[in-house]
Structure 1
Amino acid sequence: MTSDSMLREVHVRDAIGLVLAHDLTQILPGTFKGRLFKKGHIIREQDMERLLDIGKEHIYILSLEDGYIHEDEAAIRMAEALRGENLSLTETHEGKVSLISDIHGLVKVNREFVDAANAIEQVVVSTLLNNSVVQSKGAVVGTRVIPLVVKEQTVCQIEQLALQLKQQAEREAGPITVKPFLPMKVGLITTGSEVYNGRITDKFGPIVMDKITAFGSTVIEQRLAPDDRDQIVAEIQYFAELGVDMILLTGGMSVDPDDRTPGAIKQAGADIVSYGTPMLPGSMLLMAYLPVGDRRVPVLGLPGCVMHDPYTSFDVLLPRICAGETIERSDITAMGYGGLYRC
């Protein structure tokens, strides 16, 4: 059985109560061109004159056989199966349904599920990249099937895949979700004797503050430190005692002998996840966690490129940290694939 065998030509006067198989377009020269009736529309008696006005004395009608469903229903059911937290369905449009974000947040996509879904013939599941940032009302997923009519079993396979994933994860959310950003208190330490002694004006702070603010967090204080390891350690401890949720350090991250920041972070007692990331720009970033009571406070040493490059390793990690995720060594090593933005 094919979709063509389910299409039949019917005079409009005999089509009341039947279902349109495809969109019908109205063209009013110089004023309008667009959809008059959408696919799946059930033809009513009051539609007759409008159909005749656009030259449709005969139309194609879809008569679904048992075991087949219309593309709109297929797209809706697939989107429902995919939908996780903070996502809503759009209306169908030309056979497609989108999942849009209810919030400004971090997109989480199960890549294995998406690959498995698209391996099913006639299925389209198109998503943003995992760990993308999405604005409220932004599209995260688009679903559709290729033909006008598809076997219901095709959609059932998608639904079963999603159900298996939920059972494995022991959660109700679907394989694609959006995590909210948490309002975090951030301490900013600007190192460098040239800034500390007033020889130059700090240009790093305002840029970092803007990035933090973009995710709903706040730099509660910026403090300056010279190129002295003990003084940098003291500033880290100051913010730890203040109870901040994140500590950022700028300056002193290169291999020059006067650059003390990496050593100070380690001396302060932080557990180093990685000093260096396989991404350009941003390879000199340091990621660590400082034990403070029962908390592990993220501590990042930011390379100079954050000050002048619009997208660096810091921009990759910051949204995840602001969404409450813990960065592991494997997250850092994975940044090399696709990590060349500027060399």
Structure 2
Amino acid sequence: MKFGKIPLDQAAGTILAHSTRLTGRIFKKGHILAPEDIVVLQNSGITGVIAARLESEDILEDEAASRISNAIAGLNIKIGNTFTGRCNLIADADGLINYDKVRLDELNLIDQSITVATLPPYTVVTPRQLIATIKIIPLAVPNNVLNKAEKIAGSVAPIISVSPFQKKRVGLIMSRLPGMKESILDNTLKTVSARVATYGSDITHEIRVSHDQEEVKRAIENMSSLCDILLIFGASAVVDRHDVLPAAVESAGGSVDHFGMPVDPGNLLFIGQRGGLPIVGMPGCARSPKLNGFDWVLWRLLANIEVSPQDIMLMGSGGLLKEINERGQLRQNSNGANEKATGGEAKVIALILAAGSSTRMGA
């Protein structure tokens, strides 16, 4: 593609680089100048335009964007209309955006003319939500560059897809200590039920037992055939792989595959399985409805995405979530009144309200 200022008498068939406004008419960027357009421009006193002239191997921006979009879009994605070298990918289901980051990076590294931007991986998306945009930077792209992009996109499964949430039977085991208020467990059940229902599933079975390895073991055995995902909430935090809850999973014939995650709140989560049934030991912060590391694991399980130890260990980038003040152990100690505030967490030491009109104060 040749680009630059072109004398008007040589500009027929070129692509206009910038919109040109005339009295009563406008030629928009990307318009291919026809002979009759040249006459109109000449009559307006214009002698040259900044434009691009395609060479034999060049593909116009809209066609290029469309080709890449069709190559990378997978299941549960709608491809939008192409305009000015841009094509959007739209979610067509409730679920998680799922993509091959390695191949996406390879595609973006082919050439500066091709760009693909997406939401972060495993973001919860809803139908009609924009999840990715493909933008061709110049007015045209060489066909060999597009061929490279299509080869990467077509090497295995499509690069980008939406993994839809599935309706799951979710079981919940909660342990209690002597003197523990039943209302705590009631509220936990309410919170977990609402969290699961948001994504189309239900807590179908619930058992409450003493915080004892043998009792939790029996509950796991009783629940295993009744649910698709098993959640375990302990009366106290799990502090070791051999603590009560993970030990109960193993004594029930299951396995604990990973304990701990680089996401806070949510550090003290563990995952395991029994006979293919996913088991999640929930961190204490999951008693709150606020976002925490448990959500990141739950979303994937509800979307039929396997969660491996490596998956959890790679969650640290972006894993520092907003603090949950209701949890027992905050990440900043309460004695830090003299510490310099950093980041976005300011300490509020006073709140001054201006009352305004006294009639609003009951006077």
Sort the TM-score into its range (normalised by shorter chain). 0.7 to 0.9
Pick one of 49, 54, 57 that aligns with 1:64: 54
Residue identity matched to 1:140: I
Does the alignment pair 1:139 with 2:114?
no
Instruction: Report what 1:283 is aligned to.
Output: 267
Structure 1 counterpart of 2:118, from 119, 127, 137: 127
Alignment partner of 1:102 is 2:92: yes
SS in 2 for 1:74: helix
Moved more, 299-308 or 221-230: 221-230
Give a deviation string over 1:180-200, Cα, whole Å, max 9, x none.
221110111221135876375
Aligned length: 316
5 Å-filtered alignment, 1:64-103, equals 64-103=54-93
* 2:341 aligned partner: none
Counterpart for residue 155 of structure 1: 146
Deviations for 1:101-155, whole angstroms, at most 9, x for unmatched residues? 1111122211111111111222211112222221112122211122223222222
Inter-partner Cα distance in structure 2 for 1:36 and 1:135: 38
Query: Does structure 1 conserve the Cα–Cα contact (< 8 Å) formed by 2:2 and 2:55?
Result: no
For residue 249 of structure 1, the aligned residue among 232, 238, 244 is 232
Tell me if 1:233 matches 2:217.
Answer: yes
Mark the CA change 1:57 to 1:248 in structure 2 (over 3 Å): closer, same or farther.
Answer: farther
Which one of 300, 303, 320 corresponds to residue 300 of structure 2? 320
Q: Secondary structure at the match of 1:3?
A: strand
**What's 2:3 paired with?**
3
Q: Is the 8 A contact 1:195 1:224 kept in 2?
A: no
**Partner of residue 334 from structure 1, selected from 302, 305, 314:** 314
* Post-superposition CA distance 1:150-170 (Å, at most 9, x none): 22222222112222x22xxxx
TM-score, length basis structure 2: 0.75
Give the deviation of 1:265 after TM superposition: 2.3
Which structure has the larger Rg?
A: 2
Shift of 1:273: 0.9
Which stretch shifts more, 182-191 or 85-94?
85-94
CA distance in 2, matches of 1:100, 1:36: 31
Q: Name the CA distance, whole Å, in 2 between partners of 1:42 and 1:116.
A: 32
Query: What amino acid does structure 2 have at the position aligned with 1:86?
Result: N
- 1:298 matched residue in structure 2: 278
Note the alpha carbon deviations across 1:286-316, whole angstroms, 9 max, x for none: 101011xxxx111111111112362222111
CA distance in 2, matches of 1:26, 1:104: 47
| Backbone CA RMSD of aligned residues | 3.5
Q: Is the 8 A contact 2:96 2:122 kept in 1?
A: yes
Give the match's secondary structure for 1:274: strand
| Structure 1 gap segments, 5+ residues each | 29-34, 167-172
AA matched with 2:118: T
Query: Is the contact made by 2:96 and 2:124 (CA closer than 8 Å) also made in structure 1?
Result: yes
* 2:188 matched residue in structure 1: 204
TM norm structure 1: 0.79
Residue by residue, what CA displacement relative to the aligned partner does 1:3-22 show, whole Å, maximum 9, x if unpaired? 326x66479xx98x986555
Aligned partners of 1:187 and 1:219 also within 8 Å: yes
Contact 1:107 1:128 in 2 (8 A): yes
Contact 1:209 1:219 in 2 (8 A): yes
Gaps of 5+ in 2: 324-330, 332-363
Tell me by how many angstroms 1:39 deviates.
Answer: 4.5
Work out whether residues 3 and 148 of structure 1, in 8 Å CA contact, stay in contact via their aligned partners in 2: no
Pairwise CA distance, 1:264? 2.1
Identity %: 31
Residue 202 of structure 1 aligns to a residue in which SS?
A: helix
Shift in alpha-carbon separation, 1:60–1:337, aligned structure 2, 3 A: closer
- Alignment partners' CA distance in 2, 1:313 and 1:108: 18
3-state SS, counterpart of residue 335 of structure 1: coil
What is the aligned counterpart of 1:222 among 197, 206, 217? 206
* Partner of residue 307, structure 1: 287
Question: Quick one: distance in 2 between partners of 1:282 and 1:200?
Answer: 19
